[in-house]
Amino acid sequence: MGALYIVPTPIGNLEDITLRALRILKEVDLIAAEDTRVSRVLTRHFGIDTPMISYHEHNKLSQLESIFATLASADAALIADAGTPGISDPGLELIAAALDRGHAVVPLPGACAIPTALIGSGMATDRFLYIGFLPRKAAALGEQLTRLKDRPETIVAFESPYRLAASLAQIADIMGQDRPVCVARELTKRFEQFYRDSAQNLHQTFLAENPRGEVTIVIAGADADAETWSEGQVVAALRKRLAAGDSLSRAARAVAKAAGWTKNAVYRLGIDSD
């Protein structure tokens, strides 16, 4: 009975593949790849001629038996387009199925955007929370950020460059305009960039810029020592600013920043207390 090897591939720079990964990909009888067109660029570069089939979200059920036909008597490898298989891709289902059928599953260490972005962000690494891709819809994203707002762990997520500015706006609004954020773009590639700033400043940056390529967002955990005001304190400060002539929107923004509340929550409180 064969073993299934989980083989990380470079997330950009081809030099990041390990010697062990190259040996395994040459020795196995079959490579299951997320996109064979992408993976053949890698295998041709390193002179690997192992037979390859596609295994992705849309064909995973039909391909399982082909993979297990090989595993009945020989070894196979699972690779993703980039990085470590099984993280935010259908590889996890193949791994679970292989274990259920009694095959050895051998994970190899290697390239992964999550720790690369986390370490490059300069934020705390002793505790972090990976949450996958951020929700596409604004309402779902708002709900998720609200749940995570007070978590102490550093948060790591993937995001589309086309939604980056809008997502940063919600992070600033819900988690605080001064919440430290790092946007890591095109990791390990020629045009790799790390943007480290507050959520609000990065929102403004990406309103003006149109980023391309793969994006990983790192968000600092909540400050455990920060004091959150009571509702009474918020109402009193809000009334003081309104009495001084501030608009409700401007007053809510200023009070939220000082109180550790979200602007929306303070704004609603201002409307309710009229």
Chain centroid, CA 125 distance in Å: 15
Helix or strand or coil: residue 263? Answer: helix
- The fold of the 113-219 domain, in CATH, is 3.30.950
CATH number for the domain whose boundaries are 3-107:
3.40.1010.10
224 pLDDT above the threshold of 70: no
Q: How confident is the model at residue 196 (pLDDT cuts 50, 70, 90)?
A: very high
Of the candidate ranges 55-59, 109-113, 217-221, the one whose mean pLDDT is the lowest: 55-59
Domain boundaries along the sequence of the chain: 3-107, 113-219, 231-272
Q: How confident is the model at residue 225 (pLDDT cuts 50, 70, 90)?
A: low
71 pLDDT above the threshold of 90: yes
pTM over 0.85: no
- pLDDT at position 226, please? 60
Chain centroid, CA 195 distance in Å: 15
